[in-house]
């Protein structure tokens, strides 16, 4: 990957300088500085995807590396745990995402546009946490609008480094080497099989290519966030999204200053006020895990309180109805922390919940697919 990037920089030097000058002129007063957390140590030299799951930082290397996921010790930069994917090959792993039950790894790096073995690996979270070697289901796909597989190094529009999960689908965002300043979006189901993907959507922005993506989910916003390299990085967001059509959403964008190398390819969000990044080791600069602890993207009323789920009636004598804006799992606890019951809930589909016979106060927690948790207290009369 490093050699390929050097070739690209040599081929596109003039174009990149022009992009850089124009971008610097228009964004000089809107840059956000990320703080370095730690430099990453061997074997994490080419971190090309990042996931924060249950408070654990998980990454993987780029093309040709082990078919493995690495958990990062954020105090030392060392690998604290390695999980091998026993039936997978790392042809060109580029991004990682997760929903409530599974982890998805995008093996779809395609700098020359010649690959005909594009795939996403799907791993059970239960298996991941329990074992150091796991097996994956394979989601194979091709792009319906690609008919030419002649090598076109760093000119193809069928290369990708960004993957998200949103509602019941996965979405891939292409790098558009041939037309910098935009991305095509391809959607596919979360099931093993072979799929031919039509273009689902397309987004435009002023120059650059998409190198990572994630979703922000919290009480105030659902938003797509893209990491764009131009060659300097910036964050691009789409929110107020309708029916997974990201192009209809409200646009927001800001420039970044990231520590470490300029080859930033990992992005993971933890609400609208925390963004984590990883970079690959490049041109003598280290692979670094960094964080931006502010909200550069969304013009929102931060003081407005929105309940993710509602409970009625409260207090109650027996049964309550719970309705959630998002899918997840509802777990009821006693005040001393003992789990009493658990029940899955779908978005906007009410469920009935029967409380214990004993009167008292109970804690109802909603665990969402993005890893966030909301809670309310309920009184049983």
Distance CA 267, CA 355 (A): 41
Question: Which pLDDT does position 116 carry in this prediction?
Answer: 96
Which pLDDT score, from 0 to 100, does residue 121 have? Answer: 98
309-380: CATH number: 2.60.40.1930
Report residue 141 CA to chain centroid gap: 20
Select from 233, 301, 241, 230 the least CA-distant residue to 272: 301
Q: Where are the domains of the chain?
A: 2-292, 309-380
2-292 carries CATH number 2.115.10? yes
Q: Supply the pLDDT for residue 210.
A: 95
> Which pLDDT score is estimated for 378?
86
Q: What is the pTM of this model?
A: 0.75
What is d(CA 285, CA 353) in angstroms, rounded to the nearest whole number? 55
Per-residue model confidence (pLDDT) at position 66: 94
- Predicted confidence at residue 218, as pLDDT, reads 67
Closest CA to 235 of 22, 32, 37: 32
What local confidence, expressed as pLDDT, does residue 370 receive?
Answer: 65
Measured between alpha carbons, how far is 139 from 214 in angstroms, rounded to an integer?
20
pLDDT of residue 8: 45
In whole angstroms, give the CA distance from residue 53 to residue 153. 34
* CA 142 – CA 140 distance, rounded (Å): 7
Averaged pLDDT, groups of 10, the chain, 381 residues long: 47 44 42 91 93 93 92 96 97 95 96 96 96 98 96 95 93 92 95 97 92 84 88 87 85 89 88 89 86 82 60 83 86 82 87 86 82 79 76
> Quick one: pLDDT at residue 7?
46
């Amino acid at each position: 990957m490093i050699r390929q990037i050097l070739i690209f920089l040599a081929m596109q030097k003039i174009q990149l300088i022009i992009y850089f000058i124009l971008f610097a002129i228009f964004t000089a007063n809107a840059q956000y500085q990320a703080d370095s957390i730690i430099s990453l140590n061997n074997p994490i030299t080419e971190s090309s995807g990042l996931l924060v799951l249950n408070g654990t930082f998980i990454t993987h290397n780029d093309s040709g590396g082990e078919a493995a996921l690495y958990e990062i010790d954020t105090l030392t930069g060392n690998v604290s745990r390695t999980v091998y994917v026993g039936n997978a090959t790392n042809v060109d792993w580029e991004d990682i995402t997760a929903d409530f039950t599974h982890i998805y790894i995008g093996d779809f790096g395609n700098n020359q546009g010649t690959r005909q073995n594009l795939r996403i690996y799907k791993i059970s979270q239960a298996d991941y946490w329990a074992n150091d070697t796991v097996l994956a289901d394979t989601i194979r796909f091709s792009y319906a609008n690609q008919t030419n597989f002649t090598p076109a190094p760093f000119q193809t529009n069928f290369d990708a480094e960004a993957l998200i999960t949103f509602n019941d689908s996965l979405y891939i965002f292409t790098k558009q080497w041939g037309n910098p300043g935009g991305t095509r979006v391809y959607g596919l189901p979360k099931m093993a099989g072979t799929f031919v993907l039509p273009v689902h959507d397309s987004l435009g922005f002023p120059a650059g290519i998409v190198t990572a993506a994630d979703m922000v989910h919290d009480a105030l916003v659902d938003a797509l966030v893209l990491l764009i390299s131009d060659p300097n990085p910036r964050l691009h967001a789409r929110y107020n999204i309708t029916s997974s059509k990201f192009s209809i959403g409200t646009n927001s964008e800001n420039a970044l200053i990231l520590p470490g190398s300029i080859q930033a390819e990992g992005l993971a969000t933890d609400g609208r006020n925390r963004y984590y990044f990883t970079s690959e080791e490049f041109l003598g600069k280290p692979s670094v895990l960094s964080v931006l602890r502010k909200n550069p993207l969304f013009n929102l009323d931060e003081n407005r309180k929105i309940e993710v789920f509602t409970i009625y009636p409260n207090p109650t004598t027996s049964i309550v109805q719970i309705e959630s804006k998002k899918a997840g799992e509802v777990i009821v606890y006693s005040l001393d922390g003992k789990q009493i019951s658990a029940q899955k809930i779908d978005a906007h589909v009410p469920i009935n919940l029967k409380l214990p016979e004993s009167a008292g106060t109970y804690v109802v927690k909603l665990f969402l697919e993005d890893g966030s948790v909301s809670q309310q207290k309920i009184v049983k009369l």
